[in-house]
Structure 1
Amino acid sequence: MYKIKTINYDELASGFDTAVDKNSFYRRIQRFMKEFDFPARRVSSLIFNLLPVKHNLILVLDRANWKFGAKNLNILMLLVSYKNVAFPLMFKMVDNRGNSDMTERIELIKKYIG
């Protein structure tokens, strides 16, 4: 990913310096991503630890809503703001359209504090 600078599987598969068929690498990447578990707590810790400053940061709660065909996708996100850029730490899919409720917000923050 560092070399290709993308998460497009086809482009990633073509980035390996080897004589092995690109389609073989494509299938390997698919299997890896299917079976690999990204624990939210570890990912959020990694993101936070990559920040050069660990104090006076602002946590942000944001909810986004998209329509995908007939389906509504609602995501409640916990982000950390650093130099006016928000980095996502954790998220929760919410069922309802519109605002999240206080219980969902508290649950997300408690999950982060962990």
Structure 2
Amino acid sequence: MPLLPDALAATLARCVGLSNARRQTLVVVILRMISARTVNLSHLAAAFCGPAKLTSNYRRLQRFFQHVQLDGDWLAKALVALLGLAPPYRLCLDRTNWKVGCKDINLLVLCIATRPVRIPVLWDILDHGGSSTIAQRKALIERFMALFGRSSIKLLLSDREFFGNQ
């Protein structure tokens, strides 16, 4: 049985187009964020194995985040692969908003419904308060279909907030 870092690296290799070195950096970042429960780069830099100094590892992380742009789509594919979810999927569309300090965060979220939980796989940050538009909802569903195919959707659930004929 492969070790967790190797299994994670193998799964990510199928989901995200990064070089091996950058993929290994991403594996360390993911595993260290989980174990340390922090996103502080100083703490994450201490997790690297090998003879490199802490300052070198810290700089490695800075370069990683400076040059690697990861969108939500790679994460959707990685989550589905890591959790072993198989189509057809039951999807749930919902909107949520939070207040962080004085800032309002308004998200349109698409989840895959499994028996015990709902897994958020794609989302859009809405630049306004209140409900989403039909165009925003349609764009999110189209992103999902581009990643997983139209036939991967068994059904789509949403609440009465999402009205419209399209």
Structure 2 residue corresponding to 1:26, chosen from 51, 58, 62? 58
- Give 1:72 deviation, angstroms: 1.6
Distance (Å, rounded) in 2 between the aligned partners of 1:83 and 1:26: 40
Q: Which moved more, 1:27-36 or 1:6-15?
A: 6-15
Contact (CA 8 Å) 1:44, 1:89: kept in 2 or not? Answer: yes
Question: Which ranges of structure 2 fall in alignment gaps of 5 or more residues?
Answer: 1-27, 147-166
Question: Which ranges of structure 1 fall in alignment gaps of 5 or more residues?
Answer: none
Residue of structure 2 equivalent to 1:105: 137
Alignment partner of 1:87 is 2:119: yes
Q: TM-score of the superposition, structure 2-length normalised?
A: 0.58
- Give 1:53 deviation, angstroms: 4.0
Residue of structure 2 equivalent to 1:47: 79
Q: TM-score of the superposition, structure 1-length normalised?
A: 0.79
Alignment partner of 1:67 is 2:67: no
Pairs aligned (count): 114
Residue of structure 1 equivalent to 2:25: none
- Give 1:81 deviation, angstroms: 1.8
Distance 1:15 1:55, change over 3 A: same
**Larger helix share, 1 or 2:** 2
- Give 1:17 deviation, angstroms: 2.5
Contact (CA 8 Å) 1:65, 1:72: kept in 2 or not? Answer: yes
Distance 1:79 1:34, change over 3 A: farther
- Equivalent residue letter for 1:75: L
Alignment partner of 1:14 is 2:46: yes
- Give 1:93 deviation, angstroms: 0.9
- Counterpart of 1:78 in 2: which secondary structure? strand
- Counterpart of 1:83 in 2: which secondary structure? coil
- Give 1:14 deviation, angstroms: 0.7
**Larger strand share, 1 or 2:** 1
Deviations 1:19-65 (A, max 9, x none): 43212211211220222122433332222233334145321112221
Identity among equivalent pairs (%):
28
Distance (Å, rounded) in 2 between the aligned partners of 1:53 and 1:41: 16
Distance 1:85 1:100, change over 3 A: same
Deviations 1:67-103 (A, max 9, x none): 2333222111111122322222111111221222322
Distance (Å, rounded) in 2 between the aligned partners of 1:35 and 1:61: 32
